[in-house]
Chains A and B, each alone.
Chain A
Amino acid sequence: MKGLRPGRPATPFKLRTRLVLAFLLVAVVSAGTTATLTFREARNSVLRTAQDTAVSSFREQVQQIGVGLPVEDADALSEVLRDIARKGKPHTWIVFAEYGTLRASSGTSPTSTVITPELRRKTVGYPHGSFERVVKDGVPYLTIGMPTVFKVGVGGVLSTGLVLYAVMRMDQEQTQVDALITAARDGAVPGLAIALLPALLAARSVLRPVRELRRAARSMGSGRFDTRIPVRGSDELADLARTFNESAGEIERSVDELQRAEARARRFAADVSHELRTPLAGMLAVTEVLDEDAGRLDPDTAQAVRLISAETGKLAVLVDDLLEISRFDARAAELNTDEVDAAETIAKTLQNRRWTDQVRTELPAGIRARLDPRRFDIVVANLVGNALRHGGVGVTVRLRTRDREDGTGLLVMEVADRGPGIRPEALPHIFDRFYKAEAARTRSTGSGLGLAITQENVRLHGGTIHAANAPREHAGDPAAATGAVFTVEIPLNAGEEPA
């Protein structure tokens, strides 16, 4: 298992991105807020200073002017206005005057385009004057309106009807504010860039333990239970690593225990079979003597002797099968392959067991396969023997080839019978050891390991075996029993598969 499994994106990068983004967000928000607040304060103080200076100096100027009322001479008024304009603070301004329908200014045009009706309205009603910031064509202006008044008694004033307006360009202040924005930006952006560094470092310090944990978990999953994670520091991730290590230790101990128990059980089965074999070898060698002489004994003794002889034979088969199974369990079973003609191999199995007349065959010649002839013989013999015992007549062995999805050539052998078939609830267990498909079926049919050994032999060839009930060929014909079908598929070149 190398590389990333399909369908699963590389999660660590996601987490890293999220951590970095969170860091940057915090940095942006804090830098942005700080800059914005600072900027606003600075800007306001810049503007307010300019405004206050302008408004108070204008008020002063306006109070000092001496204009004869009612004003009739626009030129004289203009002269006064120009005088005020010269004294503009903090910058020069243009002064406009409005008196009834009379309009005058210190500039070239008698009326201004930046004074809004709003200012006019406010100015008339407010003797201390009003001001307004106006931006026109991208240029910021400060406009101040100031009515001239008479003092009437203590604190009372009366408007004269002459209203003066000052219009001051605020370029300089704007430049200062722009400088402030630039300063804020120049301070915040490198700050953000610098924030990226701790963000990456923090992400790394979180991600490394996570990555180690993932690697370790995967390693455990693939059966290496001695996997441990180095514990660094004392944070939550270190706690997690410690917990992982403790759990891994527990699992390792349990698995070890289980494996030892299983190995003991298997070794015991193998040892028992092995030990049984030696006495059996002596007994089996003399069963013939018993069989031959049984006829000369009195009936009871003869029956006992024949029973012993027959059961000794069965015991020998059982012990042989048990040993075979224990070799599969210990993975000690070897595949001694040879290239053979598949049809010939099957035909020889049937011929050696004198089944040729009882079995219908469809064995196309010329299929060459690399397999272990002894093991394949066991597979064929077990399946055909099983079919003959349970299915009775009508046993058919079919041979063909097909290509697996990955292009591997497969040898396909089907053993079908016309017996009662396999009960559906028995199907999943049919290859289990000592499983009896029918309660009534006695031990006499075999060791109970035949199909289990068959399956192991097929697997050893890198193949599969499948049991099923054949579909009813003639619906409505009760004589056409379903019958069982065993299908064996093994690679044509089983021996050349990489181990």
Chain B
Amino acid sequence: MPRVLLIEDDPAVREGVELGLRRRGHEVRTAATGEAGLAALGEFRPDLLLLDLMLPGVNGVQVCRQVRENSQLPIIMLTARGDDFDVVVGLEAGADDYIVKPARTEVIEARIRAVLRRIDEPGNGRPAVEFHGELAIDRTGLTVTKSGQRLALAPSEMRLLLHLSAAPEQVFSRQQLLEHVWEHSYHGDARLVDACVRRLRNKIESEPGNPRYIQTLRGFGYRFGPL
């Protein structure tokens, strides 16, 4: 079962979520502040970070940025609906998904599973490594290199790239991507997709403003290529 680090300042939420997740078999470590959470990272080595955005001291967005500096640890933000600006900032900082509080444990667990889900093996005779322009995508090893240089992609970025590149030139609506990449409902928050596309472009495109790999089709969605 995955190891979850929960950084949450409110004791009731911290205890409740910890209890709920532990009952479902997760190994949970909690921290009340950003500083304590960052300190626990190295020692606890979690599979996933559950991060409240509104923290005293070092806030959630700052924690998110610090983690992303040297780690592709899956990050899910805990947020209150209506804190729209925080959500966008958190997504830009590299969070993979977010959960609106209050949430039932089953919802939280479903999100955790979706983010941690192992991406499908290639199968039906696909080569393990595909080359698209300067990109080399290894679907088995889950690595992406650009001109031989390995790119550090967060889990959501990796999943999005694998999903799009599996069907080059096919257009996916943002709703479809929410359903298939994030396992959200069709009506979920499309800003997740947009923020992830932006982050991905910054990593794989030579000119993020004039993208070659992840192209936008206004009014329809995104597609991979054509190169």
Contacts and interface: CB of A to CB of B under 8 A. Distances in A.
Contacts of A344: 175, 186
Contacts of B191: 336
Interface stretch (B17-25, B131-139, B162-170): B17-25
B82 A285 contact: no
A285 B13 contact: yes
Contact of A288 (B20, B101, B188): B20
Interface in A363-403: 368, 370, 373-374, 376-377
B186 A278 contact: no
Given A334-B84, A352-B186, A373-B190, A283 B12 contact: yes
Given A292-B23, A334-B84, A338-B175, A281 B190 contact: no
Given A282-B12, A289-B20, A336-B189, A277 B101 contact: yes
B173 interface: yes
Interface in B141-185: 173-175, 185
Contacts of B173: 338, 340
Interface string A250-291: 000000000000000000000000100111111111111100
Given A320-B81, A327-B82, A345 B19 contact: no
Interface in A295-334: 313, 316, 319-320, 323-324, 327, 332, 334
Nearest to B178: A373
Contacts of A274: 80
Contact of B82 (A323, A373, A374): A323
Given A282-B16, A285-B20, A316-B102, A348 B220 contact: no
Interface residues of A, number: 39
A339 interface: yes
B187 A349 contact: yes
Nearest to A380: B187
B108 interface: yes
Contacts of A316: 102
Contacts of A339: 219-220
Contact of A376 (B10, B13, B103, B187): B187
Interface string B1-29: 00000000011111111011001000000
A336 B87 CA distance: 13
B104 interface: yes
A285 B81 contact: no
A285 B52 CA distance: 15
Nearest to A347: B186
Contact of B23 (A288, A320, A327, A370): A288
A284 B103 contact: yes
Given A334-B84, A340-B175, A345 B12 contact: no
A448 B11 CA distance: 31
Contacts of B16: 281-286
Contacts of B108: 285
B80 A277 contact: yes
Contacts of A370: 219
Nearest to B14: A282
Contacts of A376: 187
Interface residues of B, number: 34
B186 A373 contact: yes
B10 A285 contact: no
A223 to B, nearest CB: 27
Contact of A377 (B13, B17, B105, B187): B187
B101 to A, nearest CB: 4
Contacts of A280: 102
Given A283-B16, A338-B174, A348-B186, A289 B23 contact: yes
A281 B84 CA distance: 18
A284 B102 CA distance: 7
B106 interface: yes
A285 B105 contact: yes
B190 A338 contact: yes
A125 to B, nearest CB: 115
Contacts of B103: 281, 284-285
Given A288-B104, A320-B81, A374 B187 contact: yes
B186 A289 contact: no
A286 B20 CA distance: 5
A288 B219 contact: no
A282 to B, nearest CB: 3
B104 A289 contact: no
Nearest to B10: A278
Q: Which of B15, B101, B103 has the most CB of A within 10 A?
A: B101
Given A280-B102, A288-B106, A348 B20 contact: no
B208 to A, nearest CB: 22
Interface in B97-117: 101-106, 108
Contacts of A323: 81-82
A428 B102 CA distance: 34
Contact of B12 (A278, A324, A336): A278
Interface string B211-227: 00000000110000000
A288 B102 CA distance: 14
Given A278-B101, A281-B17, A376-B187, 4 more contacts: A281-B16, A281-B102, A352-B186, A377-B186
* Closest 10 pairs between A and B when the two form their complex, measured CB to CB: A282-B12, A282-B16, A285-B16, A377-B187, A281-B102, A348-B186, A339-B219, A281-B101, A284-B102, A285-B20
8 contacts: A277-B101, A281-B103, A283-B12, A283-B16, A285-B105, A320-B102, A340-B175, A377-B187
Interface of B: 10-17, 19-20, 23, 80-82, 84, 101-106, 108, 173-175, 185-191, 219-220
